Amino acid sequence: MSPYHRLLPVLTGLLFIVIWYAVHFSLSTEERYLLPRPDAVIAAFRTEGDILWSATLNTALGAFAGFGGAVVISFAGALLLSLSTLVRASLYPFLMILQMIPIIVLAPILILWSGPGFLSVTIITFLICFFPMVVNTTQGLISTDRNLVDLFRMSRAARWQEIFLLRVPSALPYFFTGLRIAATLAPIGAIVGDIYAGNSAGGRGGLGFQTIIFSAQFKIPALFATAFASCLLGFVFVGTVVALQWRLMHKWHDSFHRSDS
């Protein structure tokens, strides 16, 4: 990539801000509150800074716990599912069902079971992250090159060797596909969870809770600031996953080596 390519996102960003100002000033004076100016949003970051920071941390914590739990359990689940078509046939429909229950419906049940707060938010995040990861990882574990499996069998490899020296590493690209999807979903899951099953007592509120407060207070620049804080949190999650993937795969995987075309 040439240095000019790296500048492109900066240019689109600047253009975006210019358009933003233009739209703001094209509105009639009475309507301008609907789209606060960018500098007003930045000002909101300053005035509401402490609240936003602690809300972001709380949401990050819930997102991280749910995401981490989903990584561990989906990996174990994928190993189980990869064992046989029989296991897959008997469990897949229930995974689908789990994925299809809307969080809004689940939230009151969760609140009954574990009360509003961190645990419920974590469980909601977990549920949102789990499905894409377990499906992708399973697909990876069962897509191993047939010849390599034969090679391992002819070499009298033990079952655990076939799984951990062959199937798991060849599933890595699939695993990361799931992980990237889950990383974008984790902060969203934690925010939605916070709205429906959060607990704000003692400064435990997250970004979802703050959204409700700011909108009740009609602090529109602060709402925009909350949205940006959520974006930043998402970037941190996805960025970490991308960095980890680069670390583990850039030496050998073709996707990190573009051809000239």
Partner 1 sequence: MSLPPSTVEFRHAGKRYGDGPQVLDDFSLTASPADFISLIGPSGCGKSTLLRLISGLSPLTSGELLVDGHPPELAARELAYVFQEPTLLPWLTVSRNVETVMRLRGVPAAERKATRDRILSLVRLDNLHNRYPRQLSGGQKMRVSLARALTLAPRLLLLDEPFGALDEMTRDHLNEELLAIREQQRWTTFFVTHSVAEAVFLSNRVIVMANNPGQIHREIPVPFPYPRTEDTRQSSDYHRLVAEVSALLRSVERTSA
Question: Which residues form the interface with partner 1 (CB under 8 A)?
Answer: 145, 147-148, 150-157, 161, 165-166, 169-170, 172, 249, 251-254, 257
By beta-carbon proximity to partner 1, the closer residue of 5 and 247 is 247
CB of 175 to partner 1, least distance (A): 13
By beta-carbon proximity to partner 1, the closer residue of 5 and 257 is 257
CB of 136 to partner 1, least distance (A): 18
CA dist 128 and 83 (Å) reads: 24
CB of 146 to partner 1, least distance (A): 9
Instruction: Give 255-260's long-range contacts (Cβ < 8 A, gap of 24+).
Output: 255/173
CB of 132 to partner 1, least distance (A): 23
Instruction: Give 51-56's long-range contacts (Cβ < 8 A, gap of 24+).
Output: 51/210, 52/210, 52/222, 52/225, 52/226, 52/229, 54/203, 55/205, 55/206, 55/207, 55/209, 55/210, 55/226, 55/229, 56/206, 56/207, 56/229, 56/232, 56/233
CA distances to 40, 68, 210 from 207, in Å = 19, 19, 5
By beta-carbon proximity to partner 1, the closer residue of 27 and 165 is 165
By beta-carbon proximity to partner 1, the closer residue of 6 and 156 is 156
CA dist 222 and 211 (Å) reads: 9
CB of 164 to partner 1, least distance (A): 12
By beta-carbon proximity to partner 1, the closer residue of 8 and 151 is 151
The per-residue DSSP string of 132-192 comes to HHHHHHHHHHH---HHHHHHHHHTT--HHHIIIIIIHHHHHHHHHHHHHHHHHHHHHHHHH
CB of 165 to partner 1, least distance (A): 8
By beta-carbon proximity to partner 1, the closer residue of 170 and 184 is 170
CA dist 207 and 47 (Å) reads: 16
